[in-house]
Amino acid sequence: MSLNVMNEYIKITKKSIYQYFRLILEEKYDKKICEGYVNTYIEIRYYDINESKLYRKLKKDVLEGMNEEKEKLILQYPEKEENIKNIRQFFNYIIYLDNLNLNKDINRVIKYLNNARNKILGKKGFNEDIYDIIKANIIKKEEFLKKFESKDFYIKISRYTETVDIYRINLKYDIKFPILYSALAINKAFNTGTTNEDRLFVEYYLATVHIIQDIIKGNFKKQYIVELVETLFAKSQKIETLLNIINNPGIQDKLSLKIRYNTFLNNKEKTYGLIKKGFKIAIIIDNNVELDLADVEKLGIFTYVLINKECKHYNRLNNNKFTKQKLIQI
């Protein structure tokens, strides 16, 4: 079994937010109303449905999203209008509560919440120590992501030449092998057979955590490309288990799976199936590939086309409307 890292991180985040609002609202807490606001917040904050790209715009989009959700909730529950509006005011602080870390001033946010509670609900102070609760939730989220760190493996991230914010990810190892093993033998063992497939589990976990950390920082611009080895297409259960790690809209939007064109030809229906499920595919074109006009147009379904500038197909694809904007030099 594999773990969907982003889904689990969102679960932890939601649980924390609901806990905060039960403390803030006390008897005014309404689970259905809060669910509407929280789901809208998650969609904007973590899935960037408004394509904010910049953190400042992201905060503005969150508040606008809360206002739109407020109107929807009032239409749905007109008898709860006053409470819906009151709860909406407290959601002004949601992005601060969610984004706090141990180095930020938690007490300042608590002070703002206290003032708001006094003004809106006529309440002073909290029945429980909200500082300790916030601190515990921060640590819980940080420790969850740290679980995927490894002493033996790490990912190398490098930008593709002549691109902006598009990066390749490669798994590297820091394992001390006995001197009798040559570097060539170690590399061959690491990149062939079932080891080549199994290393992707580590790579995908580390890549996902890295993307989540980008999202936490409000960086939605960066795109990453990882390998999907051909032999996995013949192993339906194993490839499904592997892809479950990244099967989340927030991760799928920022991560492309790299395969060779001949792999695509040998697994067309399976590749189309992955695209239908929301996975982005980057296709590698080399001199072993033959492309007619129809083939070139079909390349438009892929997110990126990876090609060496010396490849015989480069100029043709670089001048084609279906592929020009997708080309990445390798």
pLDDT in tens, 241-294: 999 999 999 999 999 999 999 999 999 999 999 999 999 999 999 999 888 888
Task: Return the pLDDT at 185.
Answer: 46
For residue 174, pLDDT over 80 is answered with: no
* pLDDT band, residue 51 (cuts 50/70/90): low
Terminal C-alpha separation, the chain: 34
Measured in degrees and rounded to the nearest 5, phi and psi for residue 164 equal: -115, 120
Task: Return the pLDDT at 102.
Answer: 59
Listed range (93-102, 138-147, 255-264, 297-306) with the worst mean pLDDT: 93-102
Helices marked H in 77-192: 81-90, 94-99, 106-120, 130-146, 183-190
For residue 119, pLDDT over 60 is answered with: yes
Tokens found for residue 193: 């057979």
Task: Return the pLDDT at 175.
Answer: 55
Mean pLDDT of the chain: 88
Task: Return the pLDDT at 50.
Answer: 61
Q: Is 315 helix (H, G, I), strand (E, B) or coil?
A: helix
* pLDDT band, residue 99 (cuts 50/70/90): confident
Provide the β-strand partners of residue 157: 169
Tell me how far apart the alpha carbons of residues 215 and 209 are, in angstroms, rounded to a whole number.
10
Question: Dihedral, CA atoms, 251, 252, 254, 259, nearest 10 degrees?
Answer: 130
Report the percent of the chain where pLDDT is more than 90: 65
User: CB-based contacts of 177: which residues, under 8 Å, 6+ apart?
Assistant: 186
Helices marked H in the chain: 5-25, 31-45, 55-76, 81-90, 94-99, 106-120, 130-146, 183-190, 193-216, 236-244, 249-252, 261-266, 268-276, 293-298, 314-318
Mean pLDDT calculated for residue range 163-185: 69
Higher pLDDT, 135 or 177: 135
By DSSP bridging, strand 280-285 and strand 304-307 are: parallel
Tell me how far apart the alpha carbons of residues 267 and 163 are, in angstroms, rounded to a whole number.
29
Tell me how far apart the alpha carbons of residues 199 and 164 are, in angstroms, rounded to a whole number.
28
User: CB-based contacts of 71: which residues, under 8 Å, 6+ apart?
Assistant: none
Mean pLDDT calculated for residue range 89-101: 84
